[in-house]
Structure formats: C-alpha cells, structure tokens
Amino acid sequence: MPDASLPSELSADGARNARLSVRLPAQQKALIERAAALSGLTTTAFAVSTLVDRARAVVLEDRLTDLSAAEREAVFAQAYQVVSASRPGDGPAATSVPTPPSPEPPHVSSGAPAA
C-alpha cells in the first residue's frame, strides 16, 4: 500500500508533469554537474534522485520523532530487551553500570632514591 505522505515521484500514468526550478551560484552548479557525471547520471537525474532521497529521509525522521508516548515506550522497551539479552547474567545487576575502581593516591616522593 503506497504511503500517502510520500507521494510517488511520477503520476499514475508515468508522466512527469511537475517542474522544479532553482537558481544557484555557478560553483554549486559545476559541483553538481561533476558529481552527476561521476555517478554516471544526467544532471537532472542526479538532482532529482538526491532531492528525493533527502526528502524521504527528512519525512522519515519527522515520523520517528513524532511517535506517541506509548509508541516511544514500546520502542524503548524493545531496545532495553535487546540490550539486556546481549549482556551476560539476568536481572538488574546485569544491566547496571559497574562502579569504577578508586584511583590510587598520588605517589609522594620521600626524597630518597627508589629501590
């Protein structure tokens, strides 16, 4: 089932019927053209695929940050189970952070040469 919030790049008949026009500095245009050539794509194909990929990532990130409290709790509970299962032992002791050893006191020189 297609996602309504991520419209298809093409209309149902496959026609490209929308236009996007941008103005940019010549240096940026040259950089984009070079990257497209290195990718084996036309400048248009490179620009469209890059923009669409970035747009999808932004929309997905927004969705992930827009979880309800219950959904967040479910995600964190599942993550906790994965982390707990990967540690040896059971229960809270297995997931607690160990206490670091106390640092040794600094060595104080008595003035006598070390033996």
Looking at residue 88, what is its pLDDT?
58
Q: Report residue 29 as tokens.
A: 């245009």
Does 95 map to a domain?
A: no
Written as one letter, the residue type at 77 is A
Q: Are 61 and 6 in contact (CB under 8 A)?
A: no
Q: What is the pLDDT of residues 66-82, one digit of tens each?
A: 777 778 788 778 878 87
Q: Which domain holds residue 78?
A: 26-88
Does 76 map to a domain?
A: yes
Number of domains in the chain: 1
Average pLDDT over residues 25-38: 97
Does 80 map to a domain?
A: yes
Does 99 map to a domain?
A: no
CB < 8 Å & 24+ apart, contacts of 42-47: none
Residue with the bigger pLDDT between 80 and 99: it is 80
- Residue 16 contacts by C-beta under 8 Å, 6 or more apart in sequence? 10
- Rounded to two decimals, what is the model's pTM? 0.48
Looking at residue 104, what is its pLDDT?
58
